[in-house]
Amino acid sequence: MTSDLLAPLDLAFWNIESAEHPMHLGALGIFSAHSPTAGAHAADLLAARAAAVPGLRMRIRDIWQPSALRPLSFGSATREPDPGFDPLHHVRLHAPTADFHAEAGRLMERSLERGRPPWEAHVLPGEDGLSFAVLFKFHHALADGLRALTLAAAILDPMDMPERKPRPEEPRPGLLPDVRKLPGLVRGTLSDVGRALDIGASLAVSSLGVRSSTAFTAEATGTRRTAGVVLDLDDVHRVRKAQGGTVNDVLIAVVAGALRRWLDERGDGSDGVRPRALIPVSKRRPRSASPQGNRLSGYVIRLPVDDPDPLGRLDTVRSAMDRNKDAGPNRGAGAVALLADHVPALGHRLGGPLVSQAARLWFDILVTSVPLPSLGLKLGGNPVTQVFPFAPLARGQSLAVAVSTYRGHVHYGLVADAKAVPDLDRLAAALAEEVETLITACGS
């Protein structure tokens, strides 16, 4: 294993982290247990397998002394093998619990140790002896959702996956550009500048004119609460077939309707509320989780929370997503993550705290989709029955929504500031109610 510099977006995630706002992704997998000791056996398996996965042995080390080979690396960080790697520092077996989400919320509060490979697997045996859960945590500087899935799958039971030919490794750039490529580089630079201006303008426009809600913002308390809900994917397809669009359009519209129901019930009111939702977009090639780190852009849309018509909300979401797709993931306010590529390493280091505080100016709520394999996941022969993805909370924001489809079901994973959103379970219930509302509105 060799070391490599963090890509600019990875470095940004590394530097915007604080004790109150840890930048790790999470996934809570719930397993059906074959025996009361299945959880303890699962912890042993995870620890034994982790040692053989190169990506799990990689730590992140800050660079304060540039080398001759990397003269511009001052202020950056490198991903490199940890010579003292011990899986037992990362895999932890907890006492039995009756509430997996309550434990997951407390564990999501805790930052990962920055001196070690930034990931953890927490095994939570169920008090009933019939189930156990595993909470995986990966720092966003180590992996995006697809990469985190690949790392987690490497320590679960092997799956029968079709073989695919490895992609040829792309040559590493030298210290100086090839002179034959200079005209193209100049054109690319000018294009990048134009794109940056376009993103900046879109970001400014997205912040104008529509009321948000204090339910989506919170001062940092460092507390976390999680919740989840499982929906039938066939119900989502019934709505999609009746109204058009994509499954993702329906899932986003469900979030908009659930937020409306939730805000009205808690007395905050939904009139005039159209929060800006950031919809991350993976820029990885299909069926590939390499290279390491993040390959992300995004779309920003206004969630039509203020529209009382469920089908009207869906139509608004579908139209907004179509416009974003027409523009592509390299333009618009949601592509602001791509600007990280144009900031030098020291700029990320010095500007990290400022950037983290600007998140609330960019979007109000994160709604992200995490892909899962259609094949059944197992650990020690115990099958996964539910899996809830969790996204990190940006500074000043109180709620994030992640969603995955797995074996015919939709799993929404909710993360919130525990003090700002004590009624997160009510929002989870509203998601299920909104699907029923859409089905009724479609006349299905």
Which residues, in sequence order, are CB contacts of 260 under 8 Å at separation 6+? 270, 273, 305, 306, 307, 308, 313
Q: Which of 160-164, 294-298, 392-396 has the highest mean pLDDT?
A: 392-396
Whole-number mean pLDDT of the chain? 79
Confidence of residue 189 (pLDDT cuts 50, 70, 90): very low
State both tokens at 90: 């990362």
State both tokens at 394: 């940006």
Is residue 126 pLDDT above 90, yes or no? Answer: yes
User: pLDDT at position 100, please?
Assistant: 97
CA angle 403, 211, 226 (to 5 degrees): 30
User: pLDDT at position 261, please?
Assistant: 96
CA 10 to chain centre: 13
User: Hey, how many other C-beta atoms are within 10 angstroms of the C-beta on 36?
Assistant: 14
User: What do you get for the CA distance between the two ends of the chain, in Å?
Assistant: 55
Is residue 355 pLDDT above 60, yes or no? Answer: no
The least confident of 60-64, 91-95, 133-137, 321-325 is 60-64
Q: Which of 105-119, 278-292, 318-332 has the highest mean pLDDT?
A: 105-119
Question: SS3 helix, strand, coil % of the chain, rounded to 5?
Answer: 40, 25, 40
User: Hey, how many other C-beta atoms are within 10 angstroms of the C-beta on 64?
Assistant: 11
pLDDT tens figures, 325-351: 887 655 544 444 433 343 444 443 444
Q: Which among 156, 158, 160, 159 is positioned nearest to 42, based on CA atoms?
A: 156
* 422-431: b (≥16 Cβ within 10 Å) or e: eebeebbbbb
Is residue 91 pLDDT above 50, yes or no? Answer: yes
Confidence of residue 127 (pLDDT cuts 50, 70, 90): very high
Q: Who has greater pLDDT, 70 or 270?
A: 270
Contact 393, 420 (CB under 8 A): no
Average pLDDT over residues 288-314: 77
Q: How far apart are CA 376 and CA 156, in angstroms?
A: 11
Q: What is the DSSP letter of 32?
A: E
User: pLDDT at position 268, please?
Assistant: 87
User: pLDDT at position 150, please?
Assistant: 86
Beta bridge partners, 58, equal 81
The least confident of 126-130, 140-144, 238-242, 408-412 is 140-144
User: pLDDT at position 169, please?
Assistant: 43
Confidence of residue 293 (pLDDT cuts 50, 70, 90): low
User: pLDDT at position 136, please?
Assistant: 97
Contact 404, 374 (CB under 8 A): no
Is residue 209 pLDDT above 60, yes or no? Answer: no
User: pLDDT at position 326, please?
Assistant: 83
Average pLDDT over residues 14-21: 83
Q: How far apart are CA 282 and CA 150, in angstroms?
A: 14
Q: How far apart are CA 126 and CA 36, in angstroms?
A: 8
Q: Does 344 sit behind a cis peptide bond, omega within 30 degrees of 0 on the bond before it? A: no
Q: Which among 163, 183, 444, 195 is positioned nearest to 297, based on CA atoms?
A: 195
Q: Which among 204, 245, 163, 176 is positioned nearest to 442, based on CA atoms?
A: 245
User: pLDDT at position 71, please?
Assistant: 47
- Map tokens 């990689």 to a residue: 58
